[in-house]
Amino acid sequence: MVHKEFITDGALAIKDNKITFVGKRSAADKIDAETKLNAKGKIAIPGLINCHTHVPMTLFRGIAEDQELDSWLKEVIWPLEGKLRSDNIRAGALLGCLEMIKSGTTCFADMYFHEDTVAKAVEESGLRAVLAEGIVGINEKTLGEKMFKASADFAKAFHGCANGRVTTLLGPHSAYTCSSQLLVRVREKANEIGSGVHMHLAESDKMFRKFQKERGVSEVEFLDRISFLTGHTLAAHCIHLSEKDRHLLAERNVNVAYVPVANMKLGVGGARIKELTDLGVNVGLGTDGPASNNTLDMFETMKIAALQQKYIYSDPKVLPAKEVLEMATIQGAKALKLENSVGSLEVGKKADVVLIDVSKPHLKPLHNIYANIVYSARGSDVDVVIVDGKIIMANRCVKTLDEKIVMEEAEKTALDLLQGKS
Amino acid sequence: MVHKEFITDGALAIKDNKITFVGKRSAADKIDAETKLNAKGKIAIPGLINCHTHVPMTLFRGIAEDQELDSWLKEVIWPLEGKLRSDNIRAGALLGCLEMIKSGTTCFADMYFHEDTVAKAVEESGLRAVLAEGIVGINEKTLGEKMFKASADFAKAFHGCANGRVTTLLGPHSAYTCSSQLLVRVREKANEIGSGVHMHLAESDKMFRKFQKERGVSEVEFLDRISFLTGHTLAAHCIHLSEKDRHLLAERNVNVAYVPVANMKLGVGGARIKELTDLGVNVGLGTDGPASNNTLDMFETMKIAALQQKYIYSDPKVLPAKEVLEMATIQGAKALKLENSVGSLEVGKKADVVLIDVSKPHLKPLHNIYANIVYSARGSDVDVVIVDGKIIMANRCVKTLDEKIVMEEAEKTALDLLQGKS
C-alpha cells in the first residue's frame, strides 16, 4: 500500500515496533533479521481497522434476532446491559479481541461501559484500540454528570496505555441521548485534554424524524449550532442526512464510520457514501457490536459495504474494491487520528500487518488482488497478524490469548447473564 | 430439520446412501455402525443447495470488476467464453466443485456450455448437481437449433448419471436471448422428456424496459403467452416484476432462484422476496457464477440474502434466519424437484449432510443456532461434508479431489486463456 499498489515478490522488515523496509524481496537480501517469516503464497496488507464497535457485546451475539432497533435496545439489550459487571465485560471483550485477531483486525474503535476493563483486554490481546467510555444523560442530570466524569477520567488515565497501543476518546452516545449542556461540556473537555469524541449519528429514519420534530433541526445541525463539531469527531452510521447535513460534516471534518452490516440487519437503511466522499468527508468502516451484525469480521464488512453501495446507487462502478480496502485501512486510521502511525505499509509506521493465505480454492485464480481480498476472502483466510511489531497470530494460532479458555469463559458468562445468575 | 427444529445431543445414522435414523443420541445406542463419526461440538444441517450458478466461470473470478452487467458480458466475459474448450471447462468446474465442498454446498444447479464436462467433474467430486446445457438463439436460427439439440441431447444422456447424483434440465438462457419459436420448442421438448428448464428471468431494469418496449409485454407475460410456463421452471433473479408477473409466477408454480450477492454487485437491484413468498412462490438461493459474486459460498449468500431483504423492506423482521436456512436447503431442493430425496435430514432421504464446527470464537456464545449459522458462520466453518452417504470431506480435507492439483490446473488454465495461449 506504500506504493499504492501491491508489490509482487515483496518483502517487509520490522525493527522493534516499526516498519523499516518495504519493497522487492531482492532488495531486502542484505537485511539481517533475527526472525524470518516466509510469506510465500501470502499477501501482506495493513491490519484492518474497525471504526465502530461495542466489543463486550460479543456476549450477546444472537441473543435477540430479526427485531426492530427500538425493541431490540429497550426490551433485550438495555436490561441485560444493566446487569453487566466488570468480569462480564472482560469475558466479552476478550472473546471479541480473539475474534478480531483471527479475522485480521489489528485496531478497533470501541464505545461502551467499563472501558478500563476493555483496555486491559486490549493490552492482554496485543491489539491496538481507540477506546471511549460511553456517556448517556438526557433527563437524568446526575447520571449524565457521573458518566461524563467517568468518560473524561478514563480518557485521561488510559490514553497511551498498553505501550501506546491504547488511545482514548470521549464517548457521548448520541445527540438524542445526551442533553445539549452535557454535549457542550463533552466537547469542551475533549478540547481541553486534546482528545476527540466517538458517537452515534443519524442512525435511523425514525429517530431522524423524531429529533427534527422535537428540536426543529437535524441532529447534525443541532450539533453544529452548539459548536459540538469543533474538534475531532468519529460519527458512526450517518444514514439519514440532509444535503445541508452532508456539507456540515465535510466543513467540520467529521469522520464517518460506515456500518453496512448492522444497518442492513436492523433495517435502518444505508449511508450514501458517494455523496460524502465527493464532498471530501473521510469515511472508515465499522462492524458495530456483534449483537447486531453478528460478527466482527472486517472482510465480510468490506464486501457488504461494496455491495450495499452498488445497490444504493444501482451502479456497479461505485465503491470499487481498492477503495473499500482503503476505507478499512488508511481511511480508518485517519478517522481515529492514527494515520501517521498505522493504516498503511510504510517505512517509519508502526508494524500492524496482516498476511492473507491465498492458497485456497475460493481465492483462485488471482486475476485481481484487490477483488480477491474484498470480494472473495474471508476472515478465516488470515494466517498471520502482527501488531506493533509483535506476531500475535501465526498459522492461525493466537499467541497472546488462550483461545479455549476465552471461549469457555465467554460462554459461561453469557449463560449466567441470561439465567440471572450473574 | 426433520423436526423443524434442532435436536440437542442428537445422532444421525446412514446406510448406503440414505438416512436411517435422526433423533436423540441416547436412542441411537443400539445402532451398529461400521463407521462412527464423533460430531461433538458440531451442528448437522442438510447440505446447502445452490440454485443458480455457472461453475466453470470460477476461472474468471475477479477478471472484470466493478463494471456494468452489459459491458461486463460483452467486453470481457463473452469473448473469453468464446475461447473455452472442454479441458478449460473441466479445470474451472473442478475448482468450483472444490470450493463448494469446502463451504458446505452439496448440490448445485448449473447452466453453462460443455455441461457433459461439468457432469464428469461433478461425478469425480462426489457432489450432486442439476445441470443444464445453455441455449442461446435469438437471431441466428442455426446456432439456436444446434444449441437446442445439444441441450436436449445432454438432458437425455446425463439424467441420472453419477449414480443418480446428476439430474438434468434444459437451459434456455433467457426470454431476451432466445426466439419465441425456440422457447416453444424447448418447453415441448422438456415436457416430452419429463424434464424442466433453468433460465434467467427479469434480471435487470434496463432489460425489463427494453423487452417491454420491444414486445409490448414483460418477460414473464411473454413466456406465459407462449405457454412456456407450463412445466417445471427454475428462474434465476426475478428482480424486475410487475404485480401481474408475480401472480403469474405463483399461478404457474415457477421456482425462483434468489441471487442477492451478484445482483447487488452488478447494481441491478434485488428481488422482493416477501411479495413472492406471500403469494406462495417457492424461492431457493443461488450464488451465480464466481465471476460476478465472487465466491460460491452459500453461507455468505444466506447472510446477504437476509440483509438485502431487511434493507429492501426497511424491516429487520423480514426473512429471519430460520427462513433463510430453509431457502438454502428444503426450498432449494423443491426448486430443483429434489425435495423428496434431499433438502432436509429425514429418515428415508438421501444422506446429504454438513457438519459445522462451532468451536470457534465468532460462533460463541451459541444463544441462537439459526442466527449463528446464518449471520455468524462462514463457509470455512464446515468440517464434514457427506453426499449420497459418502464422506467427501472430513476435517476440512477433501477426499475426492486433489486440492493442490485442482488449484494449479485452474490457475494455469486461467492464465493461458488471458494470454491467448489456450
Closest CA to A123 of A86, A92, A161: A161
Rounded Cα gap, residues B223 and B180, in angstroms: 8
Residue A57 has pLDDT above 60, yes or no: yes
Q: What is the pLDDT of residue A4?
A: 66
CA distance B269 to chain A (A): 6
Residue B3 has pLDDT above 50, yes or no: no
Say if residues A396 and A101 touch (Cβ distance below 8 Å).
no
Q: What is the domain extent for residue B370?
A: 10-46+345-398
Q: What is the pLDDT of residue B32?
A: 87
Confidence category of residue B193, pLDDT binned at 50, 70, 90: very high
Rounded Cα gap, residues A291 and A234, in angstroms: 21
Give the list of residues 6+ apart from residue A235 with CB closer than 8 angstroms, or none: A199, A200, A201, A202, A249, A254, A255, A256, A257
Confidence category of residue A419, pLDDT binned at 50, 70, 90: confident
Nearest residue on chain B to A413, alpha-carbon basis: B365
Q: What average pLDDT does this structure show over B28-35?
A: 86
Residue B34 belongs to some domain of the structure: yes
Say if residues A258 and A270 touch (Cβ distance below 8 Å).
no
The pLDDT mean for chain A works out to 95
Rounded Cα gap, residues B370 and B322, in angstroms: 6
B138 has a chain A CB within 8 A of its CB:
no
Residue B240 belongs to some domain of the structure: no
CA A42, distance to chain mean position in Å, is 25
Rounded Cα gap, residues A412 and A419, in angstroms: 11
* Nearest CB to B320 within list A65, A362, A366: A65
Confidence category of residue A44, pLDDT binned at 50, 70, 90: very high
A95 has a chain B CB within 8 A of its CB:
yes
Residue B4 has pLDDT above 70, yes or no: no
Residue B310 belongs to some domain of the structure: no
Q: Which stretches does DSSP call E strand in B202-309?
A: 233-237, 255-258, 283-285
DSSP designation for A392? E
φ, ψ for residue B355 (rounded to 5)? -105, 125
Residue B394 belongs to some domain of the structure: yes
Contact residues, B window 139-158, toward A, CB-based 8 Å cutoff: none
Residue B392 sits in a domain of what CATH number? 2.30.40.10
Q: What is the pLDDT of residue A269?
A: 94
Residue A140 has pLDDT above 80, yes or no: no
- In A, which residues are within 8 Å of B364 by CB distance? 61, 95, 407, 410-411
- Which residues partner with B397 through β-bridges? B394
Contact residues, A window 193-212, toward B, CB-based 8 Å cutoff: 205
Confidence category of residue B33, pLDDT binned at 50, 70, 90: confident
Nearest residue on chain B to A70, alpha-carbon basis: B316
Q: Which stretches does DSSP call E strand in A151-196?
A: 166-172
Across the interface, do B403 and A361 touch by the CB < 8 Å criterion? yes
Q: What average pLDDT does this structure show over B214-237?
A: 96
Say if residues B337 and B367 touch (Cβ distance below 8 Å).
no
Q: What is the pLDDT of residue B206?
A: 83
Rounded Cα gap, residues A223 and A271, in angstroms: 19
Residue A151 has pLDDT above 70, yes or no: yes
pTM: 0.97
Confidence category of residue A2, pLDDT binned at 50, 70, 90: very low
Q: What average pLDDT does this structure show over A31-49?
A: 94
* Nearest CB to A314 within list B269, B321, B372: B269
Residue B379 belongs to some domain of the structure: yes
Domain count across chain B: 1
Residue B392 belongs to some domain of the structure: yes
Rounded Cα gap, residues B162 and B116, in angstroms: 12
Rounded Cα gap, residues A335 and A349, in angstroms: 17
Share of chain A above pLDDT 90, in %: 88
Residue A68 has pLDDT above 90, yes or no: no
A265 has a chain B CB within 8 A of its CB:
yes
pLDDT in tens, B324-354: 999 999 999 999 999 999 999 999 999 999 9
What is the DSSP code string of B115-155? HHHHHHHHHHHT-EEEEEEEE-BSS-HHHHHHHHHHHHHHH
Confidence category of residue B422, pLDDT binned at 50, 70, 90: low
Residue B2 has pLDDT above 50, yes or no: no
Rounded Cα gap, residues B60 and B94, in angstroms: 14
Q: What is the pLDDT of residue A139?
A: 82
Residue B372 belongs to some domain of the structure: yes
CA distance A8 to chain B (A): 16
pLDDT in tens, B368-421: 999 999 999 999 999 999 999 999 999 999 999 999 999 999 999 999 998 876
Rounded Cα gap, residues A190 and A230, in angstroms: 10
Residue B382 belongs to some domain of the structure: yes
Residue A256 has pLDDT above 60, yes or no: yes
At how many degrees (to 10) do helices A403-418 and A86-102 cross? 130
